[in-house]
Amino acid sequence: MDIELLGIDAFPDAPEVAETETSFAGNALLKARAIAEATGLPAVADDSGLCVDALNGMPGILSARWAGGHGDDDANLDLVLAQISDVPDRRRTASFQCAAAVALPDGTERVVEGSVEGRLLRERLGTQGFGYDPIFVPLGYEITTAQMTAEEKDAISHRGRALRSLAPVLAQLLS
């Protein structure tokens, strides 16, 4: 596709969109709709998080603010570790989930999803990545996503999978 990609910073008057929906797809659509409406251009947005099986899928959509404030990665990670401290290793399963949405100014919308399954360690390993990466080991790997290079992580990540799935949708909608 011959398109120009612009980040949200190219639109200083773009609204800050509250994530008030109850799903990753709902939050991604909220953001994409708001930006498409504000700019008059097609917009892509995503929402993602960690879903821990032993916590009934939480922190889920609350992943970035699990410990209270938004974006306190250390506090969020520490809280998850504390909450599953008594969970046996065989039950420390989790997944990273991502929904990516596109919204066009004419009201057309599409959502795709991507995920990566794995398990959670009892302590941090690695310094790359962010959030829960230091305790997440993807299935088929023996290292955390925080120990992977950016290229290795991008190849398997939930966000990468969702955005790669969105590419043909964008090609169809924008052709």
Report the C-alpha gap between 131 and 153 in whole angstroms. 14
CA distances from 137 to 100, 108, 116, 117, 134 (A): 23, 37, 10, 8, 8
Report the C-alpha gap between 99 and 111 in whole angstroms. 7
Report the C-alpha gap between 66 and 70 in whole angstroms. 8
Look-up: residue for tokens 């709902």?
A: 26
DSSP 118-140: EEE-SS---SSS-TTGGGEEETT
Q: Choosing from 2, 9, 13, 47, which is the catalytic residue? A: 47
Q: Catalytic annotation on 73?
A: no
Active site residues: 47
